[in-house]
Chains A and B, each alone.
Chain A
Amino acid sequence: MILYIQSILTLIGINILLALSFYLPFSAGMLSLAQAGFMGIGAYTSSVLTTKVGLPFLPALIAGGITSGIMGIIVGFPALRIKGIYLLLMTLGFGETVRIFFLNFEYTGGAYGLGGIKQETNICNLYIFIFLLVIFFLKITRSQIGRTFEAIREDEGAAEGMGINLTRNKIFAFAMGASIAGIGGGFYAHYAQFIDSGSFGIPQALEIMIFSIFGGIETFWGSIFGASILTILPEWLRPLKEWRLFFYGFILLLMMILRPRGIIDKHLVGSLAYKWKSNKQVRN
């Protein structure tokens, strides 16, 4: 039972990382379906470094994140010129390119996948990283950088007119998102101990997007919450056997009708913060 809970918690943690990696570029107005691809790049890079080069886990993980980030910069430049559904299509194309590349790349096992990865991911190192990431997001959202991203998302033309360098900010958001996805991939590989290209395809990309949107795309708390709920939900629904995924879809549908802007939106966070503050004042 403890092992079961442990593995659920690990999966939740990995999915939180992936959901946050989707949230960051989205907060600057970029809708990306490439996060599964970046996850794959990070997973393969870190796994090759630990299994074939013999590097320890931590440097391999960071190297995976950096490699994904660099790919993010390369993909980010053409992504600057396009928006909305066109960007969605472009990033989807990139994600598929990554998948097909690893499917055919013999060095990393090709279609057989890459096995023999040691289990290095545990709840401790995973949640320490998430904790650091939450601090990072807390700092960003309440700062000039968070406002800059929001301004770009609201109105690119006006943002540029008010002196915001679109290129630098958008590339930063996109590359950071890619890095986080890459690190998520590294954690995933060293949890599953076996990876193949199929894990990083379109279904995974869509799932990452659903985590964020379901939880609420207006704040990063939404991504954390969405990833947690949607990882646990299939487990809760396990007694329903074959009907499990039907109800999963049904709940998704219901929630989007009842709370179209996601479960946690800006308004909710605002009122919670206000209640917390006034409670504190009462106690004092």
Chain B
Amino acid sequence: MKAGVKLKILVIKDITKYFGGIGALIQVNMGVEEGMIHGLIGPNGAGKTTLFNLITGTLTPDKGSILFRGNDLVHLRPDQRTFLGICRTYQNIKLFKSMTVLENVMVARHCRVKSYLIQLALNPPFKEVRLEKEIREKAEELLQFVGLFERREFVSSNLPYGEQRRLEIARALATEPSLLLLDEPSSGMNLKEKEKLMDLLRAIRKANVTLVVIEHDMSMMMELADIITVLRFGEKIAEGSPETIQSDSLVIEAYLGGAERENVEGV
């Protein structure tokens, strides 16, 4: 990959986050180039999800800065960051359970809709507001894109696991992100679903959305990612193309070889 040629959409500088005395992330530096699928791997407890929480604003870092298109994000609220164009999915699915599939996607249009209140106030009670129609059509389009259009009237908590993950992606896309963070999008999916997911992610990249993906399925990651960052105990130990990562001795020792040990320790 031609590093440094393309624009960096996200730059993470010296990010440090401690939980109590434990360093979840220690002086991590990372840059995400525009238009890439950027993989983020590491054993359990390496700080991958913490990094996502810091980027989206659920957590604030102890030190360091996060630059999105040159703007420092650290003092912005999560919804403001979403407005700028960062959105995510969650490792433990966080759909709005009582709402239908369609409503889940529609509600995420919130930050892209202007002057809704005025239209609503002037509209007669049983007629659909014009903006409402636009919101619904956009949501239906996105459901078609992820292949859940037929399920649109289902209550979201009744969907099978894999479809819930795809719905989370559709919901995130409804906010029109330019940077999409996916936290283990394939977990709980079978092989066929994973194939479909990979096609979906490539299609999303084609639509000019940069992706950062946390993933435990190594073969999928090697096939999908343009560049991979490896974290271990809150520190970055390697970064590069899938080929270089595969042959990196530190990674093999820490991630592939060390995984069993960590499972035993229950980290």
Contact = CB atoms under 8 A, between A and B. Distances in A.
B95 A158 contact: yes
A163 B83 contact: yes
Contacts, number: 95
A148 interface: yes
A173 to B, nearest CB: 13
Given A139-B123, A145-B120, A158 B94 contact: yes
Interface in B58-96: 58, 77-79, 82-83, 87-88, 90, 94-96
Interface of A is mostly: helix
B110 A164 contact: yes
Interface residues of B, number: 40
B266 interface: no
B110 A148 contact: yes
Interface in A161-215: 161-166
Contact of A143 (B96, B126, B129): B129
Given A147-B99, A162-B107, A163-B111, A157 B94 contact: yes
A151 interface: yes
B78 A161 contact: yes
Contacts of B175: 162-163
A-side interface size class: 20 to 34
Contacts of B96: 150-151, 154-155, 158-159
B145 interface: no
Given A147-B99, A162-B171, A139 B125 contact: yes
Contacts of B110: 144, 148, 162-164
B97 A154 contact: yes
B62 to A, nearest CB: 21
A135 interface: yes
A123 interface: no
B229 interface: no
Contacts of A138: 125-126
Contacts of A158: 90, 94-96
Given A143-B120, A144-B132, A162-B175, A150 B98 contact: yes
Contacts of A148: 107, 110
Contacts of B97: 154
29 contacts: A135-B125, A140-B120, A143-B120, A144-B106, A144-B132, A144-B135, A145-B116, A147-B103, A147-B106, A150-B99, A150-B103, A151-B96, A151-B99, A154-B97, A154-B99, A155-B94, A155-B95, A157-B94, A158-B90, A159-B96, A161-B87, A162-B87, A162-B107, A162-B110, A162-B175, A163-B108, A163-B110, A165-B77, A165-B111
Given A154-B98, A161-B56, 4 more contacts: A144-B131, A147-B99, A154-B96, A158-B90
Closest 3 CB pairs of A and B: A163-B111, A163-B82, A158-B94
Interface of A: 135, 138-140, 143-145, 147-148, 150-151, 154-155, 157-166, 266
